[in-house]
Structures are given as structure tokens and as C-alpha cells.
């Protein structure tokens, strides 16, 4: 079902984030080596690095694409306490026919944080050009570019402070106008006694403030990642949380009178899945574009794909092993231990290198 293709990224340190663009045709990677790389896929499906630049003076934690309506725009955040917005510029190529040299320029540097900026995400497109960052000093910042044509001007619209160091955030991507802008923020504070680690913030149009209507009650372990499922037509929200296991929460907005009066939404929060198949720390969760398939990855070096069956039980449908060393160990006798580049076909000799299993 899946064909593995190793991409020789040549980052000199850990890769902390991988992001597809809106169309899934470009990839951005960021690493502790302070570089960001952009990859484009050719017709054969091979990925080619088309840009590579030193983006920060510290580890680059996250990289994220803006909606293409705003251009080819990336945002990064880093251990160096800054976040940056990058735009790809197509030079006025002198050679006709060629698409012109493309390069990325830094449009802005957001320096408000006093500590490592741990996550950065663009808001859903219909909210405008908004950018949220969270940092280890327990602050969520929401920036806005009032003029979408001018990516160098960002105003800090909101600062939401909390007590715990934040590690990850996710915008609720719901397209419905019944759902006000919403952010989920997670903390990787490992002290269970400090209470819930996932906070839900909601923007109130009336008060023009971000409120914190909910804290997920049962998540007391360190949260490494969280992701709202794309909401193309649901009345409720799905939130995946990566902690010591994978959890999926449903948040149903409650339409009761008290919430109408206070303007503060309330939610019926249900834990709809808790899966510890990874048997270890889960680092990342990621939804497909319809919000029907969840991918999670953990210290076991596997990607697990989760799907909900007709009873709304989430089941693991695939396990993808993405660990190069195991492939090398296994094929130590064969000389070609490092498959890099094109995998033409999964012949027997290379099948080992295509290190995956489908359950």
C-alpha cells in the first residue's frame, strides 16, 4: 500500500519538522543545524532540494507553510527565541523560458519572545494572514499582517499568558462561521501535579480577546504535539494529542444559554480514543486533509496510521517503519546498505531497504 522512498536530506543534525505545502507538492524541512530546506517533487515523484538556507542562529523547531493565496510563504521558529517569515521570490530571470531563479528572503523576524519559540502556525486562511507562536515562557502570541501583500509588517495582536511552558499549538481549521477562531496549546511540562497540559483558547469577537474556555482535564503528562483535524463539514472538532500515547478528543460546542450570555463557548469534551500502541513517547500527530486519518509517530521509530471505523473506534490501520539504521542492520551483508535517491521498484534486494510493513 505504501512505497517507502528515502530522501537524502543532508541536514547535519536532527530534523525537527517536515511540512507539506497546501497542494502536497513541496516539502519544507527544518533542523537543529539551523537550516531550512525546501524540496520540490518532479514528475517521477523524486524530491529535489530547491532551496537551503541558514534561517536562525539556533535549532529551528518548526516550519509551516502559509496558504498559497498569500504566496509561497514559510514561517519558522527557533531556539534562538525568534520566529521568522520567509517568502520565495522569483527573480526576473534574464534567461527566457526558464522560470527564473527562485530564492527565499526573510520578510520579518518576530523577536518578542524571551525564550525558545517552540511552535508557529498560520491561521486558517479565512481568518486572514494570522500567525500564532507559542514559547517556552508560557506565552501564546498572535500576530497579524494587516496588509496581506506586505509580509514584512506584522503586528502583535494578542499575548495570552499561562503558567506552563508551551511546546506546541494548533489552530482549529474549521471553515464554519459557527466556530469562532480557536487554538489548542500544549505544554511539555512533565510535572503531572501542575494539572492539565492542553489548553483550548477561543477568540471572542465581542470582547476581542482570547478566552480560555477549556483545559483538557485528563492530559497531565508532557504533551509533545497536538493537531486539530481539518473540519470540512463537522459540527464538532477532533483534537489529536501526542503525549505518552495518542489521544483523540472530540469537542462538541454546547449551545446552552449560559454560554450564549457570557459569550464564552463551552464544550462537551469526550476522549474518543487513547492508543498506546507506540509503547513509548509519541512525538508527533498529523491529520490527513479530510480529517479521517491520523498519523502518529513515536520513539519506536514508527508511523502509525489510525482510522475510525463505523463504530467510531479508532484502529491502527498501518505501521510504517521509517528507521534507516534498522534497514542497515538487516542488510548489513549486502553492500548497498544505504538506499538513497530513486527507488525504481521494490525488487527483492531493495525490499529490505524499503523498510516498511503493512499491518
Partner 1 sequence: MSSRTFFVTQEGPANALALNKDYSHVVIAGRNVFKVYSIEEDEFVESCNLRTGKNLNLNFSCNDVAWNTIDDNILATAATNGAVVVWNLNRPTRSKQEHVFIDHKRTVNKVSFHPAEAAWLISGSQDGTMKCFDLRTKEATRTFYSNTESVRDVQFSPHQHNAFAAVSENGNVQLWDLRRSDRCYHQFTAHSGPVFACDWHPEVPWIATASRDKTIKVWDLSVKPSLEYTIHTIASVGHIKWRPQRKYHIASCALVVDCSVNVWDVRRPYIPFAAFNEHKDVATGISWRGNPHTFLSTSRDSTLYHHVFQDASRPASKANPQGIGLNCRGDVAYACRVNINPSRSAKFSNLLRKGAAQPSHSEQFCQALSNMQQFTCKEPKETYWFRECARRYILTGRSLADICDHNAAVAKDLKRQHVSLIWSIVKTLYSNKVGEYNQPTPPGNISRDESVPGGGVGGVGTTGAGTGGGGESLAGTGIDGDQRSLLGAGGDTPGAPMSGDDETETDETPEQHLNGHVGHLVGGMMFPAQGDFLFGDGELDPLSIDFDRIGLNGGVFVGTNAALDMQQDWTLPSEAFPLRHEIQDRSPPPEQFPNHGSPDMNDNETQTISIEDQPTSVLCVTSMPRLMAWDPSQTMVDMLKHHAVMGDVQTSASVLLALGERRRSLVSLDEATQEHWLLGYLDTLSRHRLWEVATQVIQLAWVPSVSQLNQQSTTVHTCCARCGKPLLRAGWLCDRCHCAEGAACSVCHQVVRGLYAWCQGCAHGGHLFHMQEWWANNKQCPTGCGHICEYS
Site for partner 1 in 8-37 (CB under 8 A): 9, 11-20, 22-25, 27, 29-34
- Nearest approach in angstroms of CB 234 to partner 1 is 5
**Cβ distance to partner 1 smaller for residue 93 or 217:** 93
Grid coordinates representing 351 are 525490499
- Nearest approach in angstroms of CB 313 to partner 1 is 14
Site for partner 1 in 136-165 (CB under 8 A): none
User: How far is the C-alpha of 7 from the C-alpha of 351, rounded, in Å?
Assistant: 16
Burial category of 115 from C-beta neighbours within 10 Å (exposed 0-12, middle 13-18, buried 19 and up): middle
State the residue for C-alpha cell 446552552: 256
Residue 149 contacts by C-beta under 8 Å, 6 or more apart in sequence?
A: none
Name the segment binding partner 1 (CB under 8 A); options: 65-73, 153-161, 211-219, 251-259. Answer: 65-73
Name the segment binding partner 1 (CB under 8 A); options: 71-79, 139-147, 198-206, 210-218. Answer: 71-79
Q: Establish if 177 lies at the interface with partner 1 (CB under 8 A).
A: yes
**Cβ distance to partner 1 smaller for residue 45 or 217:** 45
Site for partner 1 in 83-122 (CB under 8 A): 90, 96, 99, 116
Closest by CA to 339, choosing from 321, 358, 322, 324, is: 324
Judge contact between 110 and 154, C-beta under 8 A: yes
- Nearest approach in angstroms of CB 161 to partner 1 is 18
Instruction: Tell which one of 150, 255, 288, 349 touches partner 1 (CB under 8 A).
Output: 288
User: How far is the C-alpha of 353 from the C-alpha of 39, rounded, in Å?
Assistant: 22
Instruction: Tell which one of 91, 105, 126, 191 touches partner 1 (CB under 8 A).
Output: 126
**Cβ distance to partner 1 smaller for residue 25 or 254:** 25
Residue 280 contacts by C-beta under 8 Å, 6 or more apart in sequence?
A: 244, 298, 299, 300
- Nearest approach in angstroms of CB 210 to partner 1 is 22
**Tally of CA atoms within 13 A in the half-sphere of 198 that contains its CB:** 26
**Cβ distance to partner 1 smaller for residue 141 or 237:** 237
- Nearest approach in angstroms of CB 195 to partner 1 is 19
- Nearest approach in angstroms of CB 324 to partner 1 is 4
Q: Establish if 235 lies at the interface with partner 1 (CB under 8 A).
A: yes
Name the segment binding partner 1 (CB under 8 A); options: 195-203, 252-260, 268-276, 316-324. Answer: 316-324
Beta pairing class for 102-110 and 83-90 = antiparallel
Instruction: Tell which one of 150, 153, 194, 326 touches partner 1 (CB under 8 A).
Output: 326
Burial category of 95 from C-beta neighbours within 10 Å (exposed 0-12, middle 13-18, buried 19 and up): exposed
Site for partner 1 in 45-64 (CB under 8 A): 45, 47, 57-59, 61
Burial category of 138 from C-beta neighbours within 10 Å (exposed 0-12, middle 13-18, buried 19 and up): middle
Amino acid at each position: 500500500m505504501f512505497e517507502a522512498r528515502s530522501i537524502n536530506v543532508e541536514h547535519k543534525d536532527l530534523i525537527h519538522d517536515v511540512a507539506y505545502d497546501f497542494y502536497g507538492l513541496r516539502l519544507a524541512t527544518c533542523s537543529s543545524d539551523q537550516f531550512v530546506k525546501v524540496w520540490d517533487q518532479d514528475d517521477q515523484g523524486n524530491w529535489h532540494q530547491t532551496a537551503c538556507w541558514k534561517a536562525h542562529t539556533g535549532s529551528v523547531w518548526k516550519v509551516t507553510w502559509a496558504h498559497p493565496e498569500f504566496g509561497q510563504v514559510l514561517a519558522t521558529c527557533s531556539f534562538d527565541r525568534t520566529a521568522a517569515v520567509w517568502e520565495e521570490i522569483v527573480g526576473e530571470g534574464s534567461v527566457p523560458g526558464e522560470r527564473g531563479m527562485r530564492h527565499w528572503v526573510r520578510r520579518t523576524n518576530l523577536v518578542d519572545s524571551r525564550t525558545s519559540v517552540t511552535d508557529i502556525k498560520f491561521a486558517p486562511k479565512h481568518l486572514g494572514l494570522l500567525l500564532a507562536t507559542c514559547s517556552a515562557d508560557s506565552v501564546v502570541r498572535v500576530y497579524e499582517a494587516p496588509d496581506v501583500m506586505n509580509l514584512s509588517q506584522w503586528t502583535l495582536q494578542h499575548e495570552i499568558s499561562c503558567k506552563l511552558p508551551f511546546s506546541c499549538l494548533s489552530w482549529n481549521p474549521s471553515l464554519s462561521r459557527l466556530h469562532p477562531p480557536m487554538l489548542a496549546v500544549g505544554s511539555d511540562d512533565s510535572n503531572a501535579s501542575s494539572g492539565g497540559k492542553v489548553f483550548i483558547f477561543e477568540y471572542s469577537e465581542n470582547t476581542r480577546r482570547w478566552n480560555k474556555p477549556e483545559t483538557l482535564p485528563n492530559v497531565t503528562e508532557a504533551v509533545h504535539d497536538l493537531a486539530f483535524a481539518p473540519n470540512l463539514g463537522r459540527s464538532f472538532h477532533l483534537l489529536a494529542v501526542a503525549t505518552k500515547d495518542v489521544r483523540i478528543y472530540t469537542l462538541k460546542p454546547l449551545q446552552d444559554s449560559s454560554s450564549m450570555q457570557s459569550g464564552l463557548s463551552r464544550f462537551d469534551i469526550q476522549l474518543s480514543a487513547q492508543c498506546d500502541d507506540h509503547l513509548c513517547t509519541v512525538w508527533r500527530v498529523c491529520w490527513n486533509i479530510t480529517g479521517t486519518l491520523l498519523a502518529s509517530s513515536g520513539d519506536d521509530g514508527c508511523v502509525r496510521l489510525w482510522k475510525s471505523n463505523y463504530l467510531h473506534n479508532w484502529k491502527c490501520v498501518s505501521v510504517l517503519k521509517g528507521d534507516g539504521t534498522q534497514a542497515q542492520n538487516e542488510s548489513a551483508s549486502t553492500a548497498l546498505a544505504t538506499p538513497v535517491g530513486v527507488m525504481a521498484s521494490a525488487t527483492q534486494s531493495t525490499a529490505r531497504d524499503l523498510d516498511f510493513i503493512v499491518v
